[in-house]
Amino acid sequence: MIYLDSAATTLIKPVSVENAVVNALRTMSSPGRGGYESAVHAAETVFACRSEAAALFNVDDEEKVVFTFNATHGLNIAISSLVKDGSRVLVSGYEHNSVTRPLHAGKARITVAGRKLFDRDAVLDDFRRHIPESDLVVCTYVSNVFGFILPIYEIAEECARSGVPLIVDASQAAGILELDFARLHAAFAAMPGHKGLMGPQGTGILLCGETGMPLLHGGSGSDSLLQLMPEYLPDRLEAGTHNVCGIAGLCAGIKYVRAVGTHNIAAKEKHLLDIAARELSDDRYTELFTGTEGTQTGVLSIRSRVTDCETMAEELYSRGICVRSGLHCAPTAHESAGTLKTGTVRLSFSPFVTEEQVRAACGEIKEINAGLAKKP
């Protein structure tokens, strides 16, 4: 099997992640719910993961690192904390439904800015025009469809200058690109644990520049006499028993990322994308969506000129190659790029993918196209 769907989840992970999950399953109980060894061990592991995340993302206080089930959970907390009925919210043209659906549910008045694919200057200019008239900005760091790196730090500076709070969707950036929370001055930044951070599914992190409003209410292991959630982080936003096994694996994943370095991970994934782009560039039946240097991570969308995206993905899977096709839960991104009617086939890479696997997959794409082009 050749796995090229790491933008959905990193299937191949460091061995240390698996070992940490198994160890937690065998030796840890509920953190903050007892003074015995297994509970203390769990609490220490949860705190260690907060500390690793705070170090990776330059967060000045571990308590501002809140654990969630995934990025969607974190974005819902962030958006519900800041959006009121009628709030004027500015988003990019490359947002995931994890942003747009909560905004619609909250009855926000949404403005879309920055639709020009791989043009960071045009995106920034568009944001500059609209930020002063907005109550909130929600922006993805990297498009999950095209790997387009938006000018998030420049957008953050404009938000700070205008006094407009910012929520960052770091789903496709965390563990791959530098994410400096102190530099962003964001209200919140949400991310999953199972993509670039190499952790298990069912984990996520919400970095908090504000206290936020609880989305879930229940036991926190603290202030049990109170019938409202505590006012302080992280307890305020972490109701119920933690996913200790998942957090243990996430901690190992973050340690791996810190040891290897996000710069090296990004360079490896972009190198693999460049190989794929070169291999497919001579195929007249393949349309490539690629940007200039510094505008794209290791996420490549393509379209076949002889078949639809779903057929191409099915054909690839029949040959042992795993990719994602369709709209990728991001119709706004496809509308911006002009691919809404067709969708795309997405190839997304990880540090564990080899050059040989990329070349083999591209060879199969060309062979499928050539075969289908011959059919009447």
Q: Which domains does the chain have, with CATH numbers?
A: 2-10+261-374 (3.90.1150.10), 15-260 (3.40.640.10)
d(CA 326, CA 258): 33
CB 138 within 8 A of CB 99: yes
Give the mean pLDDT of the chain. Answer: 97
Average pLDDT over residues 84-100: 97
Place of tokens 């936003």: 237
Q: What's the pLDDT score for residue 4? A: 98
In sequence order, the β-bridge partners of residue 167 are 138, 188
Length of the chain in terms of residues written = 376
Determine the Cα–Cα distance for residues 77 and 55; give it in Å rounded to an integer.
23
Q: How many CB atoms lie within 10 A of CB 218?
A: 10
Average pLDDT over residues 191-204: 98
Decide if pLDDT at 376 tops 80.
Answer: no
Share of the chain above pLDDT 90, in %: 96
Q: Give the up-direction half-sphere exposure of residue 193: CA atoms within 13 A in the CB hemisphere.
A: 33
pLDDT band at 364 (very low <50, low <70, confident <90, very high): very high
* pLDDT at res. 272: 98
What's the angle, vertex CA 340, arms to CA 107 and CA 293, rounded to 5? Answer: 100
| pLDDT at residue 220 is higher than 90 | no
**Given pLDDT bands bounded at 50, 70 and 90, which one contains residue 375?**
confident
Residue 143 near residue 290 (C-beta atoms within 8 A): no
Dihedral (CA of 292, 198, 141, 97) sign: positive
Calpha distance 321→245 (Å, rounded): 30
Question: What region, left, alpha or beta, does residue 226 occupy, with left being phi > 0 and alpha being psi -120 to 50 degrees?
Answer: beta
**pLDDT of 229 above 80:** yes
Summarize pLDDT for 271-330 with one digit per residue, the tens: 999 999 999 999 999 999 999 999 999 999 999 999 999 999 999 999 999 999 999 999
DSSP-derived pairing of the beta strands 109-113 and 88-92: parallel
State the average pLDDT over residues 94-116: 97
User: What radius of gyration, in Å, describes the C-alpha atoms of the chain?
Assistant: 21
pLDDT tens sequence across 118-170: 999 999 999 999 999 999 999 999 999 999 999 999 999 999 999 999 999 99
Q: How many CB atoms lie within 10 A of CB 168?
A: 28
Find out whether 134 and 164 touch, Cβ atoms under 8 Å: yes
| Cα-based distances in Å from 179 to 142, 172, 295 | 11, 11, 16
Contacts of 252 (CB under 8 A, 6+ apart): 14, 16, 17, 19, 20, 198, 199
Q: Which of 258, 346, 343 is nearest to 298 (CA)?
A: 346
Q: Which residues contact 132 (CB under 8 A, 6 or more apart)?
A: 162, 164
How high is the pLDDT of residue 234? 97
- pLDDT tens-place string over residues 39-78: 999 999 999 999 999 999 999 999 999 999 999 999 999 9
More reliable by pLDDT, 33 or 172: 172
Q: Across-strand partners of 191?
A: 205
Taking 80 as the threshold, does the pLDDT of residue 266 lie above it? yes
pLDDT bin (cut points 50, 70, 90) of residue 108 is very high
Rounded distance between C-alpha atoms, residue 266 and residue 375, angstroms: 40
pTM score of the predicted model: 0.97
- Using CA atoms, how far apart are residues 350 and 373, in angstroms rounded to an integer? 31
The predicted pLDDT at position 223 comes to: 85
Is pLDDT at 32 greater than 90 in this prediction? no
Q: Which residues pair with 24 in a beta bridge?
A: none
